Amino acid sequence: MTRYEYAKDMYAKIGIDTEAAIEKLSALPISMHCWQGDDVVGFDSKEALSGGIQTTGNYPGKATTPAELMADIDKACSLIPGKKKLNLHACYAIFENGEFADRDAIEPKHFAKWVEYAKERGMGIDFNPTFFSHPMVKDNLTLSSPDEETRTFWVNHGKACLKIAEYFANETGVPCVMNIWIPDGYKDIPADRFSPRARFKKSLDEILEVPYDKTKVYITLESKVFGIGLESYTVGSAEFSLSYVNYKGITPLMDNGHYHPTEVVSDKISSLLLFNKKIALHVTRGVRWDSDHVVIFDDETKEIAKEIVANDALDRVFIATDYFDASINRVAAWVIGLRNVQKAMLNALLTPHAEFTALQDSANTTKLLALQEEMKTYPFADVWNEYCERCGVPVGENWFEEIEKYEAEVLSKR
Ligand code: RNT
Ligand code: ZN
């Protein structure tokens, strides 16, 4: 008997079909953020990263060209099991032959290379307008700016991106999630909290005037509580964002780094599932603040996965990663984080949710706690290893040798 067969039997005894779990996980797309590969720099400007987000560290070998970034994504994907979708930011536009278009004027053709890349790999593409790291961010404001020229520039950026999102969906045949996040806010106590939010609302309304096919493009709105240098007030707060989503029938996006430190996104998922057809997540790891550390296989990541699986919402939740660590090998950072998201999902798929719910409903919370804890020492790793093997990616820590090789042969020569 192999270790997997033994594990399969053990799970079967508690009513869990490991084969069904593996099958479900294989079909679940995880949207892989391209920006881990180059510290959220992109290709369209030499501006420093702004918007109250920060990468720290200067590990050698970061991608500085589209070819390098694509090669790094390929390397990472070869070590990550499961289905991947590519998550691009507008600042990753690829300009050729000396041409250039500013953010308010980008067109689908500036992403043709990415489409070609994704098609060759059978991947869908998600998209994000880039409302930061640009000279038109005035006084830390974009869509909420009181300066009409600034606000209009960014509205035009949003409109341009919506067309590109639809182009991605049409080209790849996979719906595109277009996520709007603006950094706008104030470092210190604002005199007027209302007007910036009113202008943000107006700007979003204007962007959404662009006709688009709602079966092909899902527009999500990501909220945030604060940013670095924007500590006192964030225009796109949770209340603003949820209310706006509700008012326009778009999709909410929760980033688990974007709440007060004792709040957890795992507890918010059920509420949003009740009132939205679809929801979207940015899976990250905040250490004391929205630090965007690499996702690990920790309790909250597992709990987020549990909420998706236990609520039968695998087809209602758009799962994307969003973190950026410049202090370690960036390809490894992708692999660690994405493998951990996959692990958390598998762990949730190997949990007897219906039985646990019955215990809750019959108020047998003693047994519930006992069994929840016993599940933690079930032979999860044997199913995980089997899954990796079937996906054709290295089992266990064996993937790290590939990273060492890639670092020696490719990254260190950049
Ligand atoms: C920032 C948000 C946002 C960005 C990316 C780069 O706090 O999480 O999603 O991380 O758009
Ligand atoms: Zn995010």
Amino acid 374: pLDDT: 98
Whether 201 lines ligand 1, by a CB cut-off of 6 Å, is: no
Cβ-based neighbours of 237, under 8 Å, separated by 6 or more: 223, 224, 225
Query: Quick check: is 72 catalytic?
Result: no
- Provide the pLDDT for residue 330: 98
Known catalytic membership, residue 384: no
* Residue spans per domain, the chain: 28-349
pLDDT less than 50: residues of the chain? none
pLDDT at 46: 83
Q: Would you put residue 71 in left (φ > 0), alpha (ψ -120 to 50) or beta? A: alpha
For the CA of 225, the nearest ligand: 1
For residue 411, what pLDDT is reported? 98
Ligand 1 in reach of 282 Cβ (< 6 A): yes
Interval 366-409: pLDDT, tens: 999 999 999 999 999 999 999 999 999 999 999 999 999 999 99
* Least distant ligand from the CA of 52: 1
Look at residues 23, 29, 37, 93 and name the one whose alpha carbon lies nearest to residue 323: 37
Those residues with Cβ within 8 angstroms of residue 191's Cβ, 6 or more apart along the chain or in another chain: none
Instruction: Give φ, ψ of 146 to 5 degrees.
Output: -75, -15
Residue ID of nearest Cα to ligand 1 atom 1: 53
Q: Is 285 in the pocket of ligand 1 (CB under 6 A)?
A: no
Cα(125)–Cα(177) distance, integer angstroms: 8
**How deeply is 258 buried, as exposed, middle or buried, from its count of CB atoms within 10 A (0-12, 13-18, 19+)?**
buried
Which member of 181, 334, 384, 399 is catalytic? Answer: 181
Q: Going along 68-189, which residue ranges are E strands?
A: 83-89, 125-128, 176-180, 185-186
**Residue 284 alpha carbon, nearest atom of ligand 1:** 8
The CB of 222 under 6 Å from ligand 1? The reply is yes
* Fold adopted by 28-349: TIM Barrel (3.20.20)
Residue 120: phi and psi, rounded to 5, are -60, -25
Question: How far, in Å, CA of 185 to CA of 52, rounded?
Answer: 9
Residue nearest to atom 5 of ligand 1 (CA): 322
Distance (angstroms) between ligand 2 centre and the Cα of 12 equals 38
Please name the helix (run of DSSP H) or strand (run of DSSP E) that holds residue 306, with its range, or none.
Answer: helix 299-310
Query: Are 226 and 260 contacting, i.e. CB atoms less than 8 angstroms apart?
Result: no
Question: Does residue 33's CB lie within 6 angstroms of at least one atom of ligand 1?
Answer: no
Q: How far is CA 159 from CA 174, 199, 237, in A?
A: 20, 16, 22
Residue 402 is encoded by which pair of tokens? 């590939």
List Cβ neighbours of 357 (8 Å cut-off, separation of 6 or more).
310
Task: Identify whether 255 is a catalytic site residue.
Answer: yes
pLDDT in tens, 100-129: 999 999 999 999 999 999 999 999 999 999
Residue 224 annotated as catalytic: yes
CA of 292 to the centre of ligand 2 (A): 9
* Cα–Cα distance for residue pair 252/272, rounded to 1 Å: 8
Q: Which residues pair with 33 in a beta bridge?
A: 87
Q: What is the Cα–Cα distance from 272 to 268, expressed in whole angstroms?
A: 6
What ligand 1 atom has the least distance to the C-alpha of 130? 11
Give the active site residue among 290, 300, 307, 325: 290
What's the confidence (pLDDT) of residue 101? Answer: 97
Answer whether 219's CB lies under 8 Å from 164's CB: no
- Strand-pair category, 185-186 with 233-234: antiparallel
